[in-house]
Amino acid sequence: MFSRLAEALKNGRFRAVIFDLDGVITDTAKRHFESWKTMFDAYLETRKGAGGSFTREDYLTYVDGKPRYDGVASFLESRSIRLSRGTPHDSPDAETVCGLGNRKNDVFHAMIERYGVEVFADAVPFVETLHDLGVRTAIVTSSRNGASIMKSAGITALFSERVDGNDLAGSGLRGKPAPDLFLEAARRLHVEPSQAVVAEDAVAGVRAGRAGGFGCVIGVARNGSERALIENGADVVVHAFSEIPVTSDAHPQKLAADLPVALDQIDSLFSKAGARSPVFFLDYDGTLTPIVERPEDAVLSAAMREALTALAARATVAIVSGRDLADVRKRVGLDRLYYAGSHGFDLAGPDGWRHEHPEGHRFLRSLDAVEGALGKAVAAIEGAQVERKRYAVAVHYRRAAPDDWPKVEAAVDAALADHHDLRKTGGKMIFELRPAIDWDKGRAVLWMLDALGLDATSHLPVYIGDDETDEDAFRALSGIGVGILVRDDETDSTLATYVLNGTDEVRKLLRAVGDRLGEAAA
């Protein structure tokens, strides 16, 4: 069945996939359960004879997958508690169905603010593959928090449409297990239900997909609920999307030597943009400044700063670097730009705009420890250099003798062995230890697009970079933007669309695009 589903997605039999959010794309089910339990347990203590505390079975039976107020009413009915419905505007202190629902919402938002939102590691690559195949995607959720959850997770730009609990209010649409939300998503995607796939982890959602006449209903059993999903109408059940053997040749890695030079493709670039406004995301080392032996020697030229200034007057420009935020911001020195330091863990922009990854702080102790261990281990290797960043520790070995390179990597691996919450990444003559979470330059760029309100329908994101870490951004923008690789002799293959030969060509491109935008505005 997995192979038949994959083939149907590749050959155009299915033109869209409509995903539930919580438990399918984002890992917020735990936070939802905890917030429901916190709210209900506190309320049940005020009701004599209302039974024991709220359990996971209660959550799955009465609440999961349903609109919030319907979930409250369903659980209260199971405990023979009758309250007036109230209105969605009720205070969280009100003893009404809506009041309790709003109380739960406050608890949930506090948890998200504290812990952030994780995305299942298999979800984004699967969605990106669908984009490569020309399959449209949408999110459906009964929650009224869909927009804020997606924004916090940095995934809004991945989906063409979102239908959520706010669409239920006053629209006449019914919540799950009725199929209305899924049917509305299909309507917005301009596909017939029979041409679309539904992916759901909740019984109510699977029932909704089946009732809507959708071409296929995927049950997503991340917590081992296969039997219940099949019994309620799932055509196929997966534990992760990686089990579906769907691949795309639409955007494979290409030989960098064969790609067109972006300077010769400015007309094509503007043709891709159409009516959309270009937004530029630029790496620093190797892109705005040449690669140097010592990272502290990478100085931005006056000519490059002038080109950036001219472009930023006509378009949104962001610098996305592995360097610390304060370091790259000081080196560029332009207040009109946005900055993402530490591969996007630490962000800032004009008028005090600021964001740090909510999970970053819990890795600082491990980073401190590996910094100390590597400092001692690498000190004996001539030419190797340890660089501490706020959310990473880098080891540069460009100046070390080739015979010593294995020693450098061995030292990095030894430091990593005691810290399983960190991961090793590579680059141009560099090893880097970073937090072991699903976050990279690509995820950071998508998050920034969401946070700044730069959706893909009205803006064309353009990313220019030279390194292995920039491939994450090229991958994330596949299908919605343009990747430009600054190639050198070390570059073999890439996910980029165009190339540039060195930082001087980067400067010329930025200047040419800025001039073109200025002419269009005149």
Q: Angle CA(55)–CA(120)–CA(160) in degrees, nearest 5?
A: 110
E strand segments, 326-458:
338-341, 346-348, 354-356, 385-389, 392-396, 422-427, 430-435
Asked whether the bond before 177 is cis by omega within 30 degrees of 0, the reply is yes
Angle at 130 between CA 129 and CA 134, to 5 degrees: 120
φ, ψ of residue 516 in degrees (nearest 5): -65, -40
Which one from 283, 285, 346, 440 is the annotated catalytic residue? Answer: 283
| CA dist., res. 449 & res. 27, Å (int) | 21
Tokens of 72: 């409250």
Q: In angstroms, rounded to a whole number, what is the distance separating the alpha carbons of residues 472 and 490?
A: 18
Q: How many CA atoms lie within 13 A of 268 on its CB side?
A: 10
Residue 278: enclosing H or E segment and its boundaries?
strand 277-282
Catalytic annotation on 324?
A: no
d(CA 443, CA 448): 9
CA gap 57, 241 in Å, rounded: 25
Measured CA to CA, the distance from residue 463 to residue 496 in angstroms comes to 9
Task: Calculate the dihedral angle through the C-alpha atoms of 259, 263, 268, 273, rounding to the nearest 10 degrees.
Answer: 110
Query: Which amino acid, residue 239?
Result: H
- Residues 160/123, Cβ–Cβ less than 8 Å: no
Q: Please, are residues 483 and 495 in contact by the beta-carbon 8 Å criterion? A: yes
CB 468 within 8 A of CB 432: no
Report the candidate in 14, 49, 29, 79 with the shortest Cα–Cα distance to residue 215.
14
Q: Which of 499, 75, 487 is CA-nearest to residue 291?
A: 487
> Could you give the residue numbers annotated as active site?
283
